[in-house]
């Protein structure tokens, strides 16, 4: 039933229940064990973890599973490492490695990603997307699955250059950095073309366009350089008839209309983006997923958690393509009782 509801939502067919998805909960092993009764932790074998995740997704009525295939690995070692804080419960993601292969602004502004990085043949890229999608469907058969691209434009620039060199180069010569963006667009377009030719019905396009505070550059710069890249890349996906979800972290409220104009089918958003605006302007034409605030689950009272779920439901429930999610993840330090109460609130409010 959860997959049926998720499929209906992304096709704007108004399921009887509001579907939902969540992010990162599969790493909250204490919560998964509590909900499913399966003894599982980070040391469990993959078969046990997959069994536990599927049981959890069923218990929590997931209709949709967020994933992409093409990420920073396409840059090999020629990309920036910015280190990583602890997020996983076991601390395995912590890294103090900080390196950048671009020593000067000039090395950034003269860089040509299209000719530097070696792409696999088109047929190999197509097969890779199809294999990834098939694997997801086999692993999580009760969910709407997908494949996609994580480093669509801005996220690719961040991975290559790191924030320090990106912002310095952008600040010193916005036009020249815009040309770097266009050159990157020609590289990543090859992946989009392969994704368009792949036999997959749903794709995720991810691009962290902004910060929590909003745009990190002039909106005019985005509209001159970033959105034309995204629109050209997304065009073959539209032609192939796929459902296209677009994700960005942060507050992209001022760019909602620009993203919609690129031709996407739906939005995935964090709490800082104005979901009410999306519902009012695009609620009958696009699906959207969000946008409960994880901070409420981390430290809020039961009343505050209930109010946060109600806020999201009041906005999204009248729209055929709405799905509930905690818009900025449910990390492993979320109190179990708060997570369980959040789920109970969802269950009580999900029926239309």
**Architecture in CATH for domain 68-268:** Alpha-Beta Barrel (3.20)
Give per-residue pLDDT as tens, 297-337.
999 999 999 999 999 999 999 999 999 999 989 999 999 99
Which residue spans of the chain are classified as CATH 3.20.20.210? Answer: 68-268
C-alpha distances in Å from residue 29, one per residue of 50, 101, 169, 258, 334: 12, 37, 42, 39, 11
CA distance 160 to 117: 11
Give per-residue pLDDT as tens, 273-296.
999 999 999 999 999 999 999 999
* Cβ contact 57:65 at 8 Å: yes
Question: What are the backbone dihedrals phi and psi of residue 48, each rounded to the nearest 5 degrees, phi first?
Answer: -65, -45
Q: How confident is the model at residue 89 (pLDDT cuts 50, 70, 90)?
A: low
Does residue 197 carry a pLDDT above 80? yes
Does residue 83 carry a pLDDT above 60? no
* Cβ contact 57:88 at 8 Å: no
Q: pTM to 2 decimals?
A: 0.95
Question: What angle do the packed helices 336-349 and 302-316 form, to 10 degrees?
Answer: 40
Question: What angle do the packed helices 154-172 and 174-197 form, to 10 degrees?
Answer: 170
Return the pLDDT at 1: 57
Does residue 87 carry a pLDDT above 60? no
* Cβ contact 53:67 at 8 Å: no
Does residue 338 carry a pLDDT above 90? yes
Give per-residue pLDDT as tens, 210-238.
999 999 999 999 999 999 999 999 999 99
Return the pLDDT at 328: 87
Return the pLDDT at 92: 66
Bridge partners of residue 98, in order along the sequence = 82
Buried-exposed string 276-313: b where 16+ CB fall within 10 A, e elsewhere: eebbeebbeebbbbbbbbbebbeebeeeebbebbebbb
Q: How confident is the model at residue 86 (pLDDT cuts 50, 70, 90)?
A: low
Q: 3-state class of 266 per DSSP?
A: strand
């Amino acid at each position: 039933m959860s997959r049926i509801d998720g499929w209906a939502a992304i096709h704007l067919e108004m399921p009887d229940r509001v579907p939902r998805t969540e992010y990162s909960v599969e790493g909250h092993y204490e919560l998964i064990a509590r909900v499913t009764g399966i003894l599982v932790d980070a040391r469990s074998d993959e078969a046990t973890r997959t069994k536990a995740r599927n049981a959890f997704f069923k218990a929590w009525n997931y209709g949709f599973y967020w994933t992409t295939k093409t990420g920073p690995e396409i840059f090999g070692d020629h990309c920036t490492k910015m280190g990583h804080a602890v997020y996983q419960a076991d601390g395995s993601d912590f890294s103090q490695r900080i390196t950048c292969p671009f020593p000067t602004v000039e090395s950034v502004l003269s860089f040509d990603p299209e000719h530097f990085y070696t792409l696999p043949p088109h047929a190999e890229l197509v097969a890779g997307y199809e294999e990834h999608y098939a694997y997801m469907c086999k692993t999580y058969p009760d969910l709407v699955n997908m494949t996609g691209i994580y480093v669509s434009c801005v996220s690719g620039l961040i991975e290559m250059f790191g924030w320090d060199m990106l912002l310095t180069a952008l600040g010193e010569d916005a036009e020249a950095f815009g040309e770097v963006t266009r050159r990157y667009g020609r590289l990543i377009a090859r992946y989009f073309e392969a994704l368009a030719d792949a036999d997959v019905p749903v794709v995720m396009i991810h691009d962290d366009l902004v910060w929590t505070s909003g745009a990190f550059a002039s909106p005019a710069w985005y509209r001159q350089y970033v959105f034309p890249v995204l629109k050209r890349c997304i065009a073959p996906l539209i032609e192939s008839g796929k459902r296209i979800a677009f994700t960005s972290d942060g507050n992209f409220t001022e760019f909602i209309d620009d993203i919609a104009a690129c031709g996407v089918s739906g939005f995935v958003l964090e709490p800082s983006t104005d979901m009410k605006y999306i519902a009012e302007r695009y609620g009958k034409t696009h699906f959207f997923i969000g946008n409960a605030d994880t901070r409420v689950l981390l430290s809020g009272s039961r009343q505050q958690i209930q109010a946060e779920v109600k806020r999201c439901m009041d906005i999204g429930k009248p729209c055929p393509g709405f799905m509930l999610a905690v818009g900025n993840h449910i990390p492993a330090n979320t109190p179990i009782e708060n997570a369980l109460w959040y789920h109970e609130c969802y269950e009580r409010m999900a029926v239309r």
